[in-house]
C-alpha cells in the first residue's frame, strides 16, 4: 500500500478522519484566544485557550491550540500538568526549556497568590487544615519533600516554603533551617509536612528522630511546633496525634 492510500479498518472500510481543528491564524481576528480574553475576560476562555495564550506559539507541525490541547490531555488536565517536572516538560514536542519554564512559573505564581492577603491567608486549627493546604500537591510528588508552614499568634499562615528535597535526617543544620524563616518573621508557631512517594504514610524512625529534634529546638526558641504530617497516597498521619516525636 502506498503512503497516499487511505488507512482501512479490519473490515475493509476506510478509517474515519480526525475532526478538523481550525488553526489560530484561520480564525477571525476577534475569535482568537488573546482577542477573546481582551473582549470577554479570562473567565470566558477554555482552559485550552488560556494555555495557548501562555505558550504563544505552536510548532512547525502543530498549531498552538493543538499543542495546548495535547498537553492537557496527556497530563490529565491542569493538576497533572502542574505536577510535571521541568526536565520532562522541556522535552515535550512543541515546548522546549523556555516554554516549560513559563508554565512552571505560572503555576508557582498561582500557588503564591493563594497565600497572599489577609482574606486569603488560611488558618490552621489542626491536622485537617494542614492536609487541606498541602496534601493535594504533595501526595503526587515523585520525590520526598519537606514543607514548612509559618504561623502567627492566631495560626494564620504567614509563609509556606519547601525546606528541602530528599530523605529526612535530624542533622543540626537541617533542624536550624526549619526555624530560619519563622525567626525572621517573628512567628508564633510552625507546622511541618513531608511525603512518602511509596504511598505509605507510616512515619519512619528517621521521621520520628527528626521530629523530636525539631520539637526540642522549638522549645528552646519559644516557637511551638503544631504538628508534623506525613502524606501517602490518599492518606496522612499526624505525628502529634500519634505522639510520635511529640510528648503531648
- Dihedral (CA of 37, 42, 44, 46) sign: positive
Q: What pLDDT sits at residue 16?
A: 47
What domains, with CATH codes, occur in the chain? 24-113 (1.10.150), 127-238 (3.40.140.10)
List the pLDDT tens digit at each of the 248 positions of the chain. Answer: 444 444 444 455 544 444 445 676 667 767 788 888 888 888 888 999 999 999 888 887 888 899 999 999 998 888 888 888 888 888 888 888 999 899 989 888 887 776 665 445 788 999 999 999 999 889 988 899 999 999 999 999 999 999 988 877 767 768 888 999 999 999 999 999 999 999 999 999 999 999 999 999 999 999 999 999 999 999 999 999 999 999 87
Q: What pLDDT sits at residue 118?
A: 47
- Nearest Cα to Cα of residue 160 among 202, 128, 113: 113
pTM of the model: 0.55
190/228 Cα distance (integer angstroms):
9
The number of CA neighbours under 13 Å toward the Cβ of 126 is 3
243/248 Cα distance (integer angstroms):
7
Q: How far apart are the first and last CA of the chain?
A: 76
Q: What pLDDT sits at residue 25?
A: 64
Q: What pLDDT sits at residue 117?
A: 52
Residue 74, all three cell numbers: 496527556
78/137 Cα distance (integer angstroms):
12
* Strand locations in the chain (E): 145-151, 157-165, 189-195, 224-231, 236-238
Amino acid at each position: 500500500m502506498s503512503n497516499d492510500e487511505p488507512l482501512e479498518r479490519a473490515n475493509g472500510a476506510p478509517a474515519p478522519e480526525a475532526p478538523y481543528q481550525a488553526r489560530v491564524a484561520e480564525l477571525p481576528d476577534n475569535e482568537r484566544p488573546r482577542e477573546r480574553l481582551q473582549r470577554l475576560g479570562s473567565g470566558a476562555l477554555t482552559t485550552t485557550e488560556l494555555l495557548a495564550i501562555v505558550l504563544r506559539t505552536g510548532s512547525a507541525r502543530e498549531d498552538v491550540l493543538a499543542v495546548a490541547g495535547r498537553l492537557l490531555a496527556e497530563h490529565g488536565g491542569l493538576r497533572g500538568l502542574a505536577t510535571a517536572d521541568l526536565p520532562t516538560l522541556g522535552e515535550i514536542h512543541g515546548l522546549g526549556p523556555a516554554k516549560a519554564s513559563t508554565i512552571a512559573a505560572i503555576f508557582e505564581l498561582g500557588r503564591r497568590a493563594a497565600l497572599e492577603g489577609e482574606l486569603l491567608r488560611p488558618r490552621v486549627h489542626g491536622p485537617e487544615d494542614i492536609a487541606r493546604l498541602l496534601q493535594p500537591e504533595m501526595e503526587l510528588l515523585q520525590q520526598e519533600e519537606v514543607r514548612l508552614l509559618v504561623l502567627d499568634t492566631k495560626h494564620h499562615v504567614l509563609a509556606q516554603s519547601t525546606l528541602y528535597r530528599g530523605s529526612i535526617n535530624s542533622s543540626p543544620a537541617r533542624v536550624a533551617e526549619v526555624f530560619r524563616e519563622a525567626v525572621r518573621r517573628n512567628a508564633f508557631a510552625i507546622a511541618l509536612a513531608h511525603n512518602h512517594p511509596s504511598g505509605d504514610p507510616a512515619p519512619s524512625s528517621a521521621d520520628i528522630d527528626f521530629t523530636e529534634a525539631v520539637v526540642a529546638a522549638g522549645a528552646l526558641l519559644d516557637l511551638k511546633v503544631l504538628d508534623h504530617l506525613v502524606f501517602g497516597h490518599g492518606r496522612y498521619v499526624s505525628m502529634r496525634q500519634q505522639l510520635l516525636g511529640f510528648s503531648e
